[in-house]
Amino acid sequence: MIALHQILAIARAGNPARAWALFQSSGWDERGDDPKALTLKGRLLKDQAKAADGADRARFYGEAASAYAAAAQLERDSYPLINAAALALLGGRPERAKALAQETMALLADDPGQGENAYWRAATRAEAMLLLGDETGARAALADGISKLPQAWEDHAATIGQFELILAEQGRDAAWLDRHRPPPSLYFSGIIGLDDKNPKIADKIDAIIAREQPGFGFGALAAGADILIAEALHRAGAELQITLPYPVDRFRELSVAPFGDHWLGRFDALIEVAARLEVLTELPDEEERPLAVAVELADRVAMGQCVRNAGVLKSRPKAITITGRGDEPRRQYLVWSETGHDQFTIDVVRKADHHSIIANSEAETREIAAILWVDNADRDALSPLADSAVDFKSAGAARYRISTDIAQLISDSRLLLQNDGESRISLLIDIIDPQRPLASLLEQASDLARASSGGAVLTDWKSAMVLMLQSGGPAIEEIGELQTAYGALSLWSIA
């Protein structure tokens, strides 16, 4: 029998149909005596309701409400009870919703320790009030909860999403929720060769940050634009999440020190205050990556982190970049532009003595590409891919394809899953020589595919962040960790 937490992971990865099928085939849907199984049943039925229309939607919401209510009867808990109330409303039973909301209010009054923390107690009370038609009380209770845990951004986002559904069903305006939304996420980047003593540049950065009020900044810390923007974000109280293409000392040596000692202390100070620092490590059998492509990969990862953070928090991803006047747009600028998200540009005159450190060598063959790996596959298994099947190479019982066209590989993986829902597939993005891929990269792709139980494509954290940039891309969720010969890999599922 598959465990409940495994089924939940599949649901979170954006594959509710497969999660429900596993829930049923494992017999969990027959367990009326297990509150955890009933709570998950409610969650899975709610997911199906969101994907359905008309009478089917109302039916699924009603069944989800019944599952949550049954869980609450077995174990008096405000979480399943308030969910039962909200879903009863969405299922077309407003009086049942009010009765369950009243029951929730009584439970909160009898047991002040209900809820995971002070925020959730207040948010649950606010939701019950909203269901009872007391919008004034709901607004006050939600504001009170947020004041108790003002940076519990993911919790706030979950509540806002639930309230939007309720208000839409009640025919009420949800605009008042905007003041409680988590702040935007901001990807930052730009050129190195600028005059950091020019007050106009700093003023323009500060003006954009003051207007957009980002709560999170994602980028690197090269001398120049990166450091100037990161300092401004830190002054404004934003959380810095830094991604570097090399270990800190090596990055400092390549991208900070050559441009003047005055940058070094500023770099070190920002590393100290960063809330999160990610380093894209090289594999044991790999030569040092060329700076241009290493920087581009790190930038794509930071962009993806920004997009994902905004998605989780139900806020907005944005970007700020400083460009050299008259320069051709950097590839990173174009990649972000293709996402359709806001991008604010500051155009400056480069310093006369500026020199580039990221020029590509003509002999360099490594580039950002992806490996699509299909475990235990013969040519018949690849038949849905038609002509592209000939591009796959053999590796024992497996087949793999390498391409810089990541969107096409995602499409290929979906076709393979549609043809065989049990296929074990991985998609790994890295800096690759397509003609001579490293053995370690192929081994990682193989390890990831073998960890799959079918129904989803598996990838690692770095690749998952890059995939966040795909327009209309797949649902991507973290599902665990995999130990490999090259260390631990975080496991992510691509629906």
Helices 54-74 and 35-51 pack at an angle, to 10 degrees, of: 170
Q: Indicate the pairing of strand 239-244 with strand 276-279.
A: parallel
pLDDT band of residue 495 (cuts 50, 70, 90) is confident
**pLDDT level of residue 5 (50, 70, 90 thresholds):** confident
- Tell me what pLDDT residue 389 has: 67
Asked whether the beta carbons of 397 and 376 are under 8 A apart, the reply is yes
**Residue with structure tokens 């596993």?**
22
pLDDT of residue 31: 86
pLDDT over 80 (residue 14): no
- Measure the N-to-C terminal CA separation of the chain; round to a whole number of Å: 22
Higher per-residue pLDDT: 453 or 90? 90
DSSP class of residue 302 equals H
Give me the residues paired with residue 217 across strands: 186, 240
Confidence of residue 415 (pLDDT cuts 50, 70, 90): confident
By the 8 A CB rule, do 86 and 94 touch?
no
Q: In this predicted structure, what is the pLDDT of residue 330? A: 82
pLDDT exceeds cutoff 80 at 6: no
**Percent of the chain whose predicted confidence (pLDDT) is above 70:** 95
* pLDDT reading at 262 higher than 80: yes
How confident is the model over 319-346, as a mean pLDDT?
90
When mean pLDDT is compared across 11-15, 455-459, 463-467, the lowest value belongs to: 11-15
82 or 351, which is more confident? 82
Across the range 195-199, mean pLDDT stands at: 90
Query: pLDDT tens digits, residue range 64-93?
Result: 999 999 999 998 899 999 999 999 999 999
Whole-angstrom Cα distance, residue 385 to residue 284? Answer: 34
pLDDT of residue 418: 81
Give mean pLDDT, residues 126-152: 95
Per-residue pLDDT reduced to its tens digit, 165-195: 999 999 999 999 999 989 999 999 999 989 8
* 434 alpha carbon, distance to own chain's centre: 28
pLDDT band with cut points at 50, 70 and 90 for residue 322: very high
Record the tokens describing residue 288, joined without a space: 């040092």
The percent of residues above 90 in pLDDT, for the chain, comes to 61
What pLDDT score was predicted for residue 119? Answer: 94
Residue type, 275: A
**232 contacts 209 by C-beta, under 8 angstroms:** yes
| Structure token pair of residue 310 | 């905004």
Q: Give the pLDDT confidence score for residue 353 in this predicted structure.
A: 65
Per-residue b/e over 317-338, b at no fewer than 16 CB within 10 Å? bbbbbbbbeeeeebebbeebee
Lowest mean pLDDT among 21-35, 140-154, 374-388, 465-479: 374-388
- Residue found under tokens 């799959």: 452
Each residue's pLDDT tens digit, 204-259: 999 999 999 999 999 999 999 999 999 999 999 999 999 999 999 999 999 999 99
pLDDT(297) > 80 = yes
Res. 486: pLDDT tops 90? no
- Highest average pLDDT, of 20-29, 131-140, 368-377, 383-392, comes from 131-140
Q: What is the pLDDT of residue 99?
A: 97
Round the average pLDDT of the chain to a whole number and report it.
Answer: 90
- pLDDT grade, residue 490 (50/70/90)? confident
Strands 239-244 and 216-219 come out as parallel
Q: Give the chain's count of helices (H) and strands (E).
A: 18, 13
- The residue-averaged pLDDT of 103-123 equals 89
Q: Are 403 and 370 in contact (CB under 8 A)?
A: yes
For 116-125, what is each residue's pLDDT tens digit?
789 999 999 9
Please give the pLDDT value at position 471: 67
Distance CA 220, CA 188 (A): 8
Q: How far is CA 421 from the centre of its chain?
A: 24
Overall average pLDDT of the 17-40 stretch: 85
The mean-pLDDT minimum among 150-159, 274-283, 313-322, 452-461 falls in: 452-461
Beta carbons of 174 and 163 less than 8 angstroms apart: yes
- Give the pLDDT confidence score for residue 379 in this predicted structure: 66
pTM of this prediction?
0.85
Instruction: Report residue 378's pLDDT band, with 50, 70 and 90 as the boundaries.
Output: low
